[in-house]
Amino acid sequence: MSGGAVPGPDGRLRCPWGLSTEDYVTYHDTEWGRPLHGDDALYERLCLEAFQSGLSWLTILRRREGFRSAFDGFRIASVAAFTDADAERLLADEGIIRNRAKIEATLANARVLAEWAEGELDELIWSYAPDPGRPAPLTTADVPAVTPESTALSKALKKRGLRFIGPTTAYALMQACGLVDDHLKDCVARTGSN
């Protein structure tokens, strides 16, 4: 079956994308699709998904520590206090993606989120998790890029003042943070035998 789970070097079946590099194998096996909670942790993922827009996820993964360093561990309260000088510093930081619109959105989003109650981002995002009983995808062709839930989540976040979070980015966030499990049916990460 084209696009189905494929055996890795260890013989275990994985989603095809999760085998292209060692970075992806680790991310696929230990992080992607696992439930993630906490406002700062979810803010980090929101930011990284926004930075990934138009780029490969591998580019983001390989610069993740640079992002964490540049954005003070993605602590919302800390990033919300960043100044114009910090924005200029970030534009010169070769350890991250130096895209002005994405950097400005990251700072603006932190300022919005700093006004929210503790746990409010977590609660809002997770309120859009679809039915966990949906069938597992058999092939990569069965994995959507956008869903009604991701469209609704995107609209809710935008309505609350967040930027750079369209329906596709919202769905990638949902996949990455475990709101949906898009590991293929025969994937070791879904079957739990990893």
What residues are annotated to the active site? Answer: 27, 49, 57
Gap between the Cα atoms of 82 and 111, Å rounded: 9
Cα angle 184, 53, 56; round to 5: 60
Q: What angle do CA 90, 162, 144 make, to 5 degrees?
A: 100
Instruction: Provide the 10 A C-beta neighbour count for residue 109.
Output: 25
Residue 2's alpha-carbon distances to 16, 101, 138, 143, 182, in angstroms, are 10, 38, 10, 13, 16
Beta-carbon count within 10 A of 148 CB = 11
DSSP 2: T
Element (H, E) at 56: none
